[in-house]
Amino acid sequence: MSNEDTRPLTGRVALVAGGTRGGGRGTAVALGAAGATVYVTGRSTAAGRSDLDRSETIEATAQAVTAAGGLGIPVRTDHSRPDEVRALVERVATEQDGRLDILVNSVWGGDPLTDWEHPLWEQNLDTGIRLLRQAVETHVITSRFALPLMIARERGLVVEVTDGNTARYRGSFFYDLAKASVIRLAVAQAAELRPHGVAAVAITPGFLRSEALLEHFGVTEDNWRDGVAKDPNFAHSETPAYLGRAIAALAADPDVMAKSGRALATWGLYEEYGFTDADGTQPDFAAHWAASLEEEYGPLGEPL
């Protein structure tokens, strides 16, 4: 088997913004496993935690990228600060001879800011606006400075990580607005980038088994199925690796421009590309929804 078959992204350069944990970490590692050099950014480092006060760090993700077969490069970056993002992109350009092939906008950090209990008119407005700035404005800032590297080479892929790929309401006003806005970011970037040969897509995982969710269920990845007792839907969850492998498959697809502007999902892409989750399974949360949740909650709807 050739290196091109096992490491299809060898020689490619990726930037995973928000790669500290969750889907960002899973994506960074999957891109590394496919041979890419991956710049891993975020605010949580070995030297100090972000305001989320979690133990995961960009250095740990970068080490995992390298262990998987790529090259991980951690760079502490607050993506809400244009000066820091500009400096990050300038560093990538200098170290990689102007090359950037893959940009993954995965910055989130909105869980502690999301109010699932109250309608808009009863929510704290400052908190809601802060969520939008954290989850949407950071993506805009990052693309603003990173896109010129791709445009100069007339190739590349921008991935906007979201939650859900339909118009279905997601249960909380500001959360829904943030996740729907990220899809629109992909649509808008796709339209402007198409003449330059650069693709942009949005992608959603299913029920993502992130570090925070494992803690919520009081389990680890080794015994995660014990959490099914608390929520039967947890049996149909997927690891961050599944999302990462979906994105790696997109990045390696020579015809990815045909998907530009679309809102995609792990549950559709595994059928096309054949990737599996870390345990060899192929979770399909949309199929589970249709079989078990649609009667109570209604259909997911058509992809945007």
pLDDT over 70 for what percent of the chain? 98
Tokens of 203: 């992608």
List the helix and strand counts (H, then E) for the chain. Answer: 12, 7
| Side chain identity, residue 197 | G
Per DSSP, the three-state class of 90 is helix
CA 98/CA 77 separation, integer angstroms = 19
175 catalytic, yes or no?
A: yes
* pLDDT in the model for residue 51: 77
Residue tagged active-site, from 175, 242, 270, 297: 175
Give 54's pLDDT tier (boundaries 50, 70, 90).
confident
Q: In what order do the strands lie in the sheet with 37-42?
A: 71-76, 37-42, 13-17, 102-105, 156-161, 198-204, 263-265
Q: Mean pLDDT throughout 194-200?
A: 98
User: CB count, 10 Å around CB of 76?
Assistant: 19
pLDDT digits (tens, 9 = 90+) for 63-73: 999 999 999 99
CB contact at 8 A, 209 and 167:
no
* Residue 138 vs residues 62, 102, 259: alpha-carbon distances, Å: 21, 17, 24
Mean pLDDT of the chain: 95
3: pLDDT strictly greater than 80: no
pLDDT digits (tens, 9 = 90+) for 101-136: 999 999 999 999 999 999 999 999 999 999 999 999
pLDDT digits (tens, 9 = 90+) for 132-150: 999 999 999 999 999 999 9
Structural domains in the chain?
3-297 (3.40.50.720)
C-alpha neighbours within 13 Å on the C-beta side of residue 172: 20
Can you list the alpha helix ranges (DSSP code H) found in the chain? Answer: 3-6, 22-33, 58-68, 82-95, 125-132, 138-153, 173-193, 211-217, 240-252, 266-273, 285-288, 294-297
User: CB count, 10 Å around CB of 74?
Assistant: 23
* pLDDT in the model for residue 64: 98
* pLDDT in the model for residue 4: 61
* pLDDT in the model for residue 1: 45
Residue 282 dihedral angles phi and psi, to the nearest 5°? -130, 80
pLDDT digits (tens, 9 = 90+) for 163-176: 999 999 999 999 99
